[in-house]
Chains A and B, each alone.
Chain A
Amino acid sequence: IAGITQAPTSQILAAGRRMTLRCTQDMRHNAMYWYRQDLGLGLRLIHYSNTAGTTGKGEVPDGYSVSRANTDDFPLTLASAVPSQTSVYFCASSVAPPPNTGELFFGEGSRLTVL
């Protein structure tokens, strides 16, 4: 089934540990995004990539890094996790990169708890 696959589905992590959330899409979309979702704050953009080899910072990039080595994969890394990074993380993709983003297709999310 075509779409976006995120892993892990959920994870409990000790503060200070390094963590990589994986995201793979099989739709050959140009643009990919990472959002975090927190109660009362909605969806906030962490990082984005308009095409393979390029990345950009979103609204809340601090403490996170991304890479886009190829079209399909867009991993999100927390170098040293802190409790404020406890959240649900969503990866998304779109056919066209910004500014003509159009529809975003979301994965089912990765729930991360940092203790």
Chain B
Amino acid sequence: QQQVKQSPQSLIVQKGGISIINCAYENTAFDYFPWYQQFPGKGPALLIAIRPDVSEKKEGRFTISFNKSAKQFSLHIMDSQPGDSATYFCAANSGGGADGLTFGKGTHLIIQP
């Protein structure tokens, strides 16, 4: 069964610090790796995504680092702000799969002021 393993389950970071969330996968057929952000009472929303042909993608304070050989990818939030407090999900989409995205179990991030 396709699987994406996410860690940590929860994370507390001081305002201005760097938040790092990690994900690992097994299936080498995965070819699309998005991160979703979810605020309480809302549905998840796409934050940033990467394809395996690049090792890093940056959008503002958010960066995905991708290590194809290790089958790992991570989300870095620079200069973390209280408004970044949310649950973050990594996911993967198999090029050969027929059922959309497979999600990690989520990381509950709290940014302390």
Contact = CB atoms under 8 A, between A and B. Distances in A.
The answer to whether A binds B is yes
Interface of A: 4, 31, 33, 35, 40-45, 48, 50, 56, 58-59, 90, 92, 94, 98-104, 106-109
Contacts of B49: 103
Contacts, number: 73
Interface of B: 1, 6, 9, 32, 34, 36, 41-46, 49, 89, 93-106
A98 B43 contact: no
Given A40-B105, A43-B89, A56 B98 contact: yes
A26 B96 CA distance: 28
Contact of A31 (B41, B100, B105): B100
A51 to B, nearest CB: 12
Contacts of A45: 99-102
Q: Taking each of A40, A48, A101, which has the highest tally of chain B beta carbons within 10 Å of its own beta carbon?
A: A101
A38 to B, nearest CB: 10
A108 B41 contact: yes
A106 B93 contact: no
Contacts of B102: 45
